[in-house]
Structure 1
Amino acid sequence: MNQVLERIRVSGPYWVGGILSLTMFLFGIHLLGAVTEAAAAPLQQLFGRYVAGDARALGVSWIATYALANGSVIAALSVSLFKTGVVTVSQLFLMVAGSRLGAAAIVVLIGALDYLQKRRYSVGEAISLGLLTFLLTHSVYVPATILGYLLLPWLRGLFECVGEGLELSSQPLAVLEPMTTTLIDAIGVAPGFVVAVIILVAGLNLFDRVLKRVNTAWLRQRFFRRFQHKWVALGLGIFITSITTSVAFSLGVIVPLYNRGYLERREVTPYVLGANIGTLFDTVVVAVVLKSPDGVTLVVSLLAVGTLITLGILLGFSTYLETIDVVHTRLVEDQRYLVAFLISLVVVPVVITVLPF
């Protein structure tokens, strides 16, 4: 009996934190949907004026992901805007893709914090995993974005049944409707939008904080020693990221191991590729919760194209890894290339956003 009580005492805060973060996430999604629906007309006018064109939608979501350091929130916002007719089919596809292209910023930030705590290596070495994540993410999602955009009509027809099959027959979040309606009536649409984003970010951050307090020694001992098998590492990346819905956790937990040489680039690469696939699962959930079958179809389309490219990469893994090794080594060892690369990560989305494509 004492052992049971001790387990409850130890694990209780984790369960409370996890349930609270999930509640905040779901409430934030529901509030976001209600706000965007209430403000559909002015938002459509705003987007028509400043985000006219598909390329700008890509650039805006990319930059917004940098600003929030959270691609999941931007993807959720994109689906919500699509649900209310503010953004088009192609714009939603590109906005979700943009949330992936900017998502590696959080791994760079984690590496920078690790550098500030233990300055045993250069800045380039400290953010090495973040740089690797950017290279791997862009090597998959840049071609996936281009290919998926060109094939979008065909992909929509192919995965339409998936969107319809995942549609909820009931409305489990209807219980939240009185609260969201009351909140919007009390503070207004614009403040409600800000509150919805804050709640989403806070919920995801709370979940990350809960995960960070979990003892990950068992995770490293049981899973990360299997990284030498590329297909196993890929599966682990998909599994851990989709279960935790947190790239910050699934990649952040291996930053110290990678920085200190316990994991090699060859072992980490398939895992990161898998994490890039798993991170889209929460966006599928958002589209399902918001009752947007078309949104589910579009997210699954990007997920499918990215998965096929990833599988192709692993089939030619040696050649791919050699290319990544050359580029990554140059970035870590030569500060000029590092600065130029980091600048390009900001300049490219800004150019896409500013120029009238």
Structure 2
Amino acid sequence: MDLRRVVGWPLVTAVVAATCFFLGIRLLSTATGVLAPGIEPLLGQAIRGDLSAVGTSWLVSYAVLNGSVVAAVSVTLTHSGLLDVSELFAAIVGSRLGASGVVIVLGVFEYVQKESYSLRDATSLGVLSAIVTFALFVPVTAGGLLGYWLGDPTTAFVGAVPSFGIGQDGPVTSAVDALVALLGPHLGGLVAVALLFGSFRLFDRALSAVETDRFRAAVVPLARRPWATVLVGFVLTSVTTSVAFSVGVFVPLYNRDFFERDELVPYLLGANVGTMSDTLLVAVVLDSAVGVVTVVLVMATTGLLAVLFVATGGRFTSLVEAADEAARRDPRTYAWFVAGLVLLPALLVLVG
């Protein structure tokens, strides 16, 4: 079936919506990046050990709605000698755990502009994304911290990292940087939020004209190939350097039943591995051999775990679906789940 016939005229509206969404995410990322000097003292003072590094980066990622900025700041702090290697690892995985909450916030944006379903339904993809993220990063965090406590696993590889000396300039980056410089980071952040709200309204207008059944008949055969879906999630997130975009763009589609949970779980696995590509680029730009090795180790272990999960067939997906059902069973369990996303990192900061 020809996908163009299925989508029809809403295609242009959807492209404009996706463009607004992408620009909103990039603008928000740049605005929070400008505010990064204010984040550095907070991270430097709050991090007193590996566990507090996980919790602090997790919470700060919530606060700035951007885990990539927190991970990048952590690399710079290590490069400056303010964090040791194990704390860098802990801060990176903590930022990834915190980044999963950004998708929940995007679901709240969707709920505000379209209140035809409950807040639990609007944030359902965020909950699913958080569960998949925890399945990947909790064992990686536990195993990694144990490895660092027994001995630094990066020492064997640091000497093999060459000097790169590259930048990350581009037309989109230059345009967004200029806009933030003109508006300032705070107003730029508000414009970014407005773009996100506007993109969801456009998505809603485009999707309301598309028949769900015909869309699924055209697209789902592709989504039913788990290995290809993992690769798409990894590549799209690596290219856009934003899990908020690569996953968040599916929020309105998922909320309107264009995709099922089992179809997106492999995609979320790939996205969680690809989301560290920008942190790797920061480490390369800084010529931080320790940063490069640490990020590569995190990507390699999460990638291996993602492959193992997909190789189980539908068993991993079934476990994720069961956890998702449990988290969203009723308002009380949903509230406890969301509260746990804040209380757990706060506890890690306290026990530090």
TM-fit CA distance, 1:154 = 6.3
Q: What does residue range 64-213 of structure 1 map to in structure 2 within 5 Å?
A: 64-152=60-148, 153=151, 155-157=153-155, 159-160=157-158, 164-165=161-162, 167-168=163-164, 170=165, 198=185
The whole-number CA distance in structure 1 between the counterparts of 2:167 and 2:321 is: 48
- Is 2:337 aligned against 1:341? yes
8 A contact 2:166–2:284 mirrored in 1: no
Letter in 1 for 2:61: T
The whole-number CA distance in structure 1 between the counterparts of 2:70 and 2:241 is: 14
State the SS of the aligned residue for 1:317. coil
State the SS of the aligned residue for 1:103. helix
- Is 2:232 aligned against 1:236? yes
8 A contact 2:100–2:130 mirrored in 1: yes
Distance 1:172 1:133, change over 3 A: closer
Deviations 1:130-181 (A, max 9, x none): 000000000100101111222344641454366x13x31x4669xxxxxxxx
8 A contact 2:103–2:129 mirrored in 1: yes
Letter in 1 for 2:305: I
State the SS of the aligned residue for 1:151. helix
- Is 2:64 aligned against 1:58? no
8 A contact 1:159–1:301 mirrored in 2: no
The whole-number CA distance in structure 1 between the counterparts of 2:224 and 2:325 is: 21
- Is 2:291 aligned against 1:295? yes
Distance 1:108 1:91, change over 3 A: same
Deviations 1:302-333 (A, max 9, x none): 11111111111111132211111112112223
Q: What does residue range 254-333 of structure 1 map to in structure 2 within 5 Å?
A: 254-333=250-329
Show the counterpart of 1:184.
none
Deviations 1:282-316 (A, max 9, x none): 00001111111111111111111111111111111
The whole-number CA distance in structure 1 between the counterparts of 2:156 and 2:226 is: 29
Deviations 1:202-227 (A, max 9, x none): 6xx59x87x9699999xx99977621
State the SS of the aligned residue for 2:259. coil
8 A contact 1:107–1:129 mirrored in 2: yes
Show the counterpart of 2:247.
251
The whole-number CA distance in structure 1 between the counterparts of 2:91 and 2:234 is: 22
8 A contact 2:52–2:350 mirrored in 1: yes
Instruction: State the number of aligned residues.
Output: 301
The whole-number CA distance in structure 2 between the counterparts of 1:278 and 1:257 is: 21
The whole-number CA distance in structure 2 between the counterparts of 1:293 and 1:57 is: 20
Unpaired segments ≥5 residues, structure 1: 1-9, 174-196
Show the counterpart of 2:4.
none
Letter in 2 for 1:342: V
Show the counterpart of 2:180.
none
Letter in 1 for 2:139: P
TM-score by length of 1: 0.73
8 A contact 1:148–1:301 mirrored in 2: no
The whole-number CA distance in structure 2 between the counterparts of 1:76 and 1:268 is: 27
The whole-number CA distance in structure 2 between the counterparts of 1:331 and 1:66 is: 20
Letter in 2 for 1:156: T
TM-fit CA distance, 1:50 = 4.3
The whole-number CA distance in structure 2 between the counterparts of 1:224 and 1:212 is: 24
